Amino acid sequence: MARAVSSQPTEVELQILRILWESGGSTAREVHNGLTEIKGTTYSTTVKMLSVMLEKGLVKRDEAVTPQVYRAAMSQKVTQKRMLGDLIEKVYNGSAMSLVLQALSSGKASTDELAEVRRIVDELEGKKP
């Protein structure tokens, strides 16, 4: 019985996804090792979370090998875009720009990064003159 796909991954699910993105694929034990460093939860909990995430379609499982290997169902990039879009919609009333401006102004950008932003802007302006 698949659960609703509509909602975003929750806090813990995201932490698990990050572990999977980094490793490319992990056993339940490996996920648990990564997870237990930040949260003191038990192995059993980790396995349960993975099975819930499997139900939701957030992860895939390779059952051909033992122990089974879990992988993120969606790339990090796609997930980021989706969550970003959600935030823009809910918190910035759909205006991506005000988000960009606020993120820029937060002052955490290095000179290199600003140059990169400038490059992207140049590129985008080139497309629609």
Partner DNA sequence: TCGATCTGGCGAATTCATTCGTCACATTTC
Partner DNA sequence: GAAATGTGACGAATGAATTCGCCAGATCGA
> Interface with DNA by CB under 7 A: which residues?
3-4, 7, 10-13, 27-29, 39-45, 47-49, 51-52, 66-68
Q: Which does 6 bind (CB under 5 to 8 A by kind): DNA, a copy of itself, none?
A: none
Q: Which two tokens stand for residue 39?
A: 């949260």
Any residues with CB less than 8 A from the CB of 39 and at least 6 apart, and which?
12, 15
Q: Which two tokens stand for residue 117?
A: 């932003």
Sign of CA dihedral 119, 121, 123, 125: negative
CA atoms of 31 and 44, how far apart (whole Å): 12
Q: From the CB of 92, what's the least distance to a copy of itself, in Å?
A: 6
Q: Which does 91 bind (CB under 5 to 8 A by kind): a copy of itself, DNA, none?
A: a copy of itself
Residues in contact with a copy of itself by the rule CB under 8 A: 11, 14, 18, 77, 79-81, 83-85, 87-88, 90-93, 96-111, 113-114, 116-118, 120-121, 124-125, 128-129
